[in-house]
Chain A
Amino acid sequence: MSAVETGIHADVQHEEHVHHDPLNFWRKYVFSEDHKIIAKQYLITGIFWAMIGIAMSVVFRLQLGFPQADISWLRPVLGQWIDEAGKLDPNFYLALVTMHGTIMVFFVLTAGLSGTFSNFLIPLQIGARDMASGFLNMLSYWFFFTASVIMFASLFLQTGPAAGGWVVYPPLSALPQAHEGSGMGMTLWLISMALFIVSQLLGGINYITTVINLRTRGMTFSRLPLTIWAFLITAILGLISFPVLLSAALLLIFDRHFGTSFYLSEIYIGGEALPNVGGSPILFQHLFWFLGHPEVYIVLLPALGITSEIIATNSRKPIFGYRAMIASMLGIAFLAFIVWAHHMFVTGMNPFLGSVFMFLTLIIAVPSAVKAFNYITTLWKGNIIFTPAMLFSIGLVSFFVTGGLTGIILGNSALDIQLHDTYFVVAHFHIVMGAASAFGLFAGVYHWFPKMFGRMMNYRMGQIHFWLTFIGIYLVFFPMHYIGIAGFPRRYYQFTSFDFGKSFTDLNMFITIAAVLSFLAQFIFVWNFFYSIFKGKKATQNPWNSNTLEWTAPINPGHGNWEGDIPAVYRWSYDYSKPGSAQDFIPQNIPYSQTPESNLPHENEQIAMEAEIEAQNFNDQFKNAH
């Protein structure tokens, strides 16, 4: 390592400089501008929402699996939504489905996943003191918090929360008289989502700026860990697509509250015509899915980035195809914007246009397959260590392959006519986007918990949690494909009133039991998480023998992350088991001049450049305040 002048707290040259005085409780833990605290705020809010979201799914699964059962024992929680006969209110069933989708997609897997790990890892892995703007970062969390409070409040409305599905298609969502949940519940949903979008934009802008401008000396783009690449691409996707959702929501608000006709036309209620003429509900779908499809990758890409890092570390092997991984992520991100209409094959779209979108959709299989093969080839002949994080990462790869295969089926515009809006679709996206991303979230928590809290999570409990969840998820969603192929439509309150629906009751029962068990398994995680924060085994500085920069920071990094100078970077982050090297990992901040025994010829040439890297701009926000 280079010897450079010491003391990060030296000369404060700038008026807008970050202060180092001890902060009071509120500034330190509540309205904090420190990226690590904000990440933990996102994580804990995300876990809270995940528990609510998954619990909701258990309630409606009970209804689907045991439609005749008396569930009046749930009355203490659900109150008036359980009727006299002990049955779930059908309107509330729709509200549950809607809120489950909204919560899991936006509040858990977007804010909880990206918000946690982009905030936590970007500065630590690129070697920055903090985000480009701590203030915007704080604002981003508190916008999210406000959105959360409003969404949560909507659950307690007399008329129930929004109930038009998480995609909130008009006219159902636009007309208060259409459904109980389309009144105040929908209004709160729109307000909450508008705030949520603002939060995501503030966060995303910060992530992009930090990755591009605040990398440490020597941290070129070709040395960035794949996690950071994934977070960067995710943030760019969000920056481009979230404003479009805002647009869609804005026009919907005008239709609902001011009587405009962007999405409404020639609607009759009770024989009476509404005044709205000239709108188009399909327009909303175009706008919504222009966000909605990239959103799938906003959810999935961070999980894939986390997986790349964990699989390489725990296979003790360099990631296979580093550049191919980046290229495939860029490819997926690009394609994400030109496939939105595959959600709309049955809206009466021109069949030629449908085949164009089908073609583009199927191309996504190529970069996705590149990623899947790269994970498998990284595992191939590795010295695999089955930490809980590693198990969840391998589980993610399994889900990614399983769910990806059904994606190829659904991407066909002809097959989609049969499968559209059936449980086949539900099974597909829950495996490839829901479960895979959730596994990325779990993997990330298990892997970076020591860095976040300075303690280890219980190893054995993590492994049990993995096996129960992994098996549980397959037991829930695999049979669901058959129900979908049999033609069962999603979002129906019950099937027993139809003849065709009488045949699969046992399978639905089975799914419900599996769902309940998987839900219960999550409490192992919750207990492990909160117990370990306070009572877990003390962590060492680099518990997984990993190469990335965050493990060179102190066990409990303070404000500014590194004491003394920020480390310089001389190599990529995947030098595991390098031939010639005594230990099986070489962290990024070890110069080639210190490892002559393992250098390749061209790396020896790079030794000459080390002095130049060290002389480069520190990019230290404490020294040159931005």
Chain B
Amino acid sequence: METSHQLPIQKEPEATLSVDPKKFILWLFIVSIVMLFASQTSAYLVRRAEGNWLEFEMPAIFSYSTIVLVVSSLSMQWAYYSAKKDNFTNLKIAISITFVLGLAFLWMQFDGWREMVNMKVYFVGNPSGSFLYVFTGLHAFHLISGLLVLAVAFVSAFRLKIHAKNLRRIEICSTYWHFLDILWVYLFFFLLTFN
């Protein structure tokens, strides 16, 4: 009890409000996704260290899909800048491009699975292959949720609800999309390094 009285007194009262709660919720949501993938990748490492590990070349299409996703992040950023400048035509175009690139990415991931099946690396089998399916599948699942967020932003853009004075939706959308992009890049390089 005494200790708290002896603390240096702040001369300014602290402001209590800091971040927009909805954006803060998004960041916490991202933390939980990070933990999900951190546990998956560390399980991968723990299991890999035990030996009996099938080594195979990752299908090349995953490199191309990575490029597609990075480009989609750029167009997402373009959408954000357009919204900031109240340029609605560009905003709609940019969101559409991002959406199409997202779909293309999903298709390429699916194609990657098909190539893996051709390579006789199946979901059921050595965990080294199973893990790759799980990583890509979980990421694809989250990317679909990202596409839904994008769709909401797209509809809002058409209803002119996104503009320089109301950027929250497009900010949430772009933060989430960039996160999914970074997450995939992490998974991709993780799998390259420890295959």
Residues of B within 8 A of A133 (CB): 21-22, 25
Kindly specify which of A101-109, A282-290, A524-532 makes contact with the partner chain. A282-290
Check A347 for interface membership: any CB of B closer than 8 A.
Answer: no
Q: Which residue of B lies closest to A205 (CB)?
A: B28
Bound complex: CA of A574 vs CA of B31, how far in Å? Answer: 34
- Per-residue 0/1 for B121-138: is the Cβ within 8 Å of any A Cβ (1 yes, 0 no)? 001111100110010001
Whether the pair B29, A323 counts as a contact (CB closer than 8 A) is: no
Whether the pair B16, A219 counts as a contact (CB closer than 8 A) is: yes
Check A216 for interface membership: any CB of B closer than 8 A.
Answer: yes
Q: What DSSP secondary structure best describes chain B's contact surface? A: helix
Q: Which residue of B lies closest to A603 (CB)?
A: B5
Bound complex: CA of A239 vs CA of B126, how far in Å? Answer: 31
Minimum distance in angstroms from A279 CB to a CB of chain B: 6
Bound complex: CA of A499 vs CA of B115, how far in Å? Answer: 61
Residues 14 to 70 of chain B near chain A (Cβ within 8 Å) = 14-22, 24-25, 28-29, 31-33, 35-36, 38-40, 43, 46-47, 50, 52-54
Q: Which residue of B lies closest to A374 (CB)?
A: B1
Contact of A213 among B7, B21, B124, B131 (CB under 8 A): B21
Whether the pair A278, B52 counts as a contact (CB closer than 8 A) is: yes
Whether the pair B43, A243 counts as a contact (CB closer than 8 A) is: no
Residues 260 to 298 of chain A near chain B (Cβ within 8 Å) = 260-262, 277-280, 283, 286-287, 290
Contact of B123 among A258, A279, A290, A574 (CB under 8 A): A258
Minimum distance in angstroms from B118 CB to a CB of chain A: 19
Whether the pair A321, B1 counts as a contact (CB closer than 8 A) is: yes
Whether the pair A208, B32 counts as a contact (CB closer than 8 A) is: no
Bound complex: CA of A44 vs CA of B12, how far in Å? Answer: 44
Bound complex: CA of A279 vs CA of B130, how far in Å? Answer: 11
Minimum distance in angstroms from A538 CB to a CB of chain B: 34
Residues of B within 8 A of A208 (CB): 24, 28
Bound complex: CA of A112 vs CA of B11, how far in Å? Answer: 42
Check B3 for interface membership: any CB of A closer than 8 A.
Answer: yes
Looking at chain A, what size class is its interface with the partner chain?
35 or more
Minimum distance in angstroms from A452 CB to a CB of chain B: 25
Q: Which residue of A lies closest to B166 (CB)?
A: A15
Bound complex: CA of A136 vs CA of B3, how far in Å? Answer: 39
Whether the pair B21, A132 counts as a contact (CB closer than 8 A) is: yes
Residues of A within 8 A of B15 (CB): 616-617
Contact of B52 among A216, A277, A318, A322 (CB under 8 A): A277
Minimum distance in angstroms from B161 CB to a CB of chain A: 8
Whether the pair A213, B130 counts as a contact (CB closer than 8 A) is: no
Whether the pair A247, B16 counts as a contact (CB closer than 8 A) is: no
Bound complex: CA of A258 vs CA of B127, how far in Å? Answer: 13
Whether the pair A247, B130 counts as a contact (CB closer than 8 A) is: no
Residues of A within 8 A of B1 (CB): 317-322, 574
Whether the pair B50, A213 counts as a contact (CB closer than 8 A) is: no
Minimum distance in angstroms from B142 CB to a CB of chain A: 12
Residues of A within 8 A of B192 (CB): none
Residues of A within 8 A of B32 (CB): 201, 205, 239-240, 242-243
Whether the pair B127, A287 counts as a contact (CB closer than 8 A) is: no
Q: A244-B39, A286-B46, A605-B9 are in contact. Are A279 and B127 (CB under 8 A)?
A: yes
Q: A212-B19, A240-B31, A286-B43 are in contact. Are A260 and B123 (CB under 8 A)?
A: yes
Q: Which residue of B lies closest to A378 (CB)?
A: B1
Bound complex: CA of A251 vs CA of B47, how far in Å? Answer: 13
Contact of B13 among A209, A243, A609 (CB under 8 A): A609
Which 3 interchain pairs have the tightest Cβ spacing? A243-B35, A132-B21, A243-B36
26 A-B pairs whose Cβ atoms sit less than 8 Å apart in the complex: A132-B22, A132-B24, A133-B21, A201-B32, A213-B20, A213-B24, A214-B21, A216-B16, A217-B16, A218-B16, A219-B16, A247-B36, A247-B43, A248-B39, A250-B134, A250-B138, A254-B130, A254-B134, A260-B125, A262-B47, A278-B126, A318-B1, A606-B9, A609-B11, A612-B12, A616-B15
